[in-house]
Amino acid sequence: MTLSCTEQQRTTCSVGGMYTALAIEKFLPIMHCGPGCYANVSCTLGTMNGGQSPETYNNSIVPSTNFCEDDVVFGGVDRLHALVGECIKYYDSDLYLIIDGCTAEIVGDDLEEVANAFQSEEKPIIYTSLPGFKGNSVWGHGEVLASIVDQYMKPAADIDPLQVNIFGIVPYFDPHWSATLDRLEELLIYLGLKPNIIYGRNRGKKNIDKIPAAGFNLVLAPWTDLALAEKLKEKFGTPYLHFDNQPIGPTETAKFIRRICKYANLGELKAETYIKKEEDRYYYYLRRSYPWIYSCKNFPREFVVNASAAAAVSVSRFAVNDLGMIPKRIYVTDGIPEEYQPGVEAMLRDVEYDGDFEVIFTEDGGLFEDSLKYEDLTIRKLCVFGSSWELVPTTKEKLPFVPVTTPLGDFMLGSKTYFGYEGGLTFMADLYSDAANKVIDVQI
């Protein structure tokens, strides 16, 4: 009998959905699980993920019942009830979210009963069950948003046709989420829209309250939040535009701008003016970089991706369509439900390259490192786009590497994003700088 285990995971258990709540200003998750549950997910999604700490509540002060053996025998509802009361008393929050884990779910503690006992207009409390045996942190993210829609949102009196809600980007799991949303917001405002984003600074409950009033929703991802967009369409009649990646560089960014302007009837003038201005700037800096680029005589043209679907589609489109690189293998590691996999694979193959390459759906991030045993890397190198799990093998084999997905334990992100025209230049600079540091026949 052959035994196997999953290594180098890019997701956490479903309790990691708490980070979707933590990304919303003054939205407090109240944990009804063991102390190790949220402590473990905080390493992957927070502290060890590009130096990101949650706002408004650092993960070290997130309240928990610390579900223990006595609770397994007698149930933990009474302690949860007491904890919620104390949280309302001492935490300055606009919304509260009760989250349970595996043990509380198995015991059968009733979260709805506890939430209903504290309901008031000033302190809305919702609940969601996130047992680890049902899914990973991306699934947990979807459950948190679904709970907000089902338990809290009410129809709007008026619809603003220019308001667009932004979904698809999973906060913290996408390590660049905050800066990407900031840049996206600036772009949409320039085009004449009113972007409504619930994650990040100066947003929060007031933006959640505005969601039903949107003219349309924008889902900027291969598959995440599509179910949410359908739910909002069914409940409030809000249509949605699905764009399958966070655009990097000129090709996809121009496509995105034209697509959203056409969908929202914004006209072509602003879109084409913006595209021309940004493309002129992009190619100016690209031309200035030619001597450096051409000095890398043996720079690898093939690449491997070991990342989430969102990162894989975005990076592959830019690497192939703008950098002229060749995909060899793409590992998609965020545990995509089977019904979405054919669509995501089609998105990954929708590039300007006619050759064949492998697409592998797996949560086993260690498959990439294992595959290197069978590669002849003496002369023919690879570029690698992944997470900090790939640091050791890429350093050992001197493979150019750019971190694009969680976890990013050895990198501090600050306000970095690869979104848009500027993001394409940043990505290219990171890639060629790493190649130079790995000494891939660089002549200066």
Task: Give the list of residues 6+ apart from residue 280 with CB closer than 8 angstroms, or none.
Answer: none
Q: What is the pLDDT of residues 69-87, one digit of tens each?
A: 665 655 678 889 999 999 9
Q: What percent of the chain has pLDDT over 70?
A: 95
Tell me what the mean pLDDT of segment 363-368 comes to: 90
- Side-chain-side CA neighbours of residue 288 (13 Å): 8
Q: Which of 133-142, 224-233, 244-253, 418-427 shows the lowest mean pLDDT across its residues?
A: 133-142
State yes or no: pLDDT of 443 exceeds 50.
no
pLDDT at res. 411? 79
Domains of the chain: 14-151 (3.40.50.1980), 162-269 (3.40.50.1980), 286-437 (3.40.50.1980)
Q: Which of 192-196, 248-252, 376-380 shows the lowest mean pLDDT across its residues?
A: 376-380
pLDDT at res. 444? 40
pLDDT at res. 65? 86
pLDDT at res. 196? 98
Tell me what the mean pLDDT of segment 384-393 comes to: 94
State yes or no: pLDDT of 440 exceeds 90.
no
Q: What is the pLDDT of residues 318-329, one digit of tens each?
A: 999 999 999 999
pLDDT at res. 354? 93
State yes or no: pLDDT of 238 exceeds 70.
yes
pLDDT at res. 408? 87
pLDDT at res. 34? 82
State yes or no: pLDDT of 208 exceeds 70.
yes
Confidence of residue 103 (pLDDT cuts 50, 70, 90): confident
Q: What is the pLDDT of residues 5-34, one digit of tens each?
A: 778 888 888 999 999 999 999 999 999 888
Q: What is the pLDDT of residues 266-278, one digit of tens each?
A: 988 989 999 999 9
pLDDT at res. 3? 54
Tell me what the mean pLDDT of segment 364-385 comes to: 88
Tell me what the mean pLDDT of segment 52-76 comes to: 75
Tell me what the mean pLDDT of segment 254-281 comes to: 95
State yes or no: pLDDT of 38 exceeds 80.
no
State yes or no: pLDDT of 188 exceeds 90.
yes
Q: What value does the mean pLDDT of the chain take? A: 90
Tell me what the mean pLDDT of segment 332-344 comes to: 95
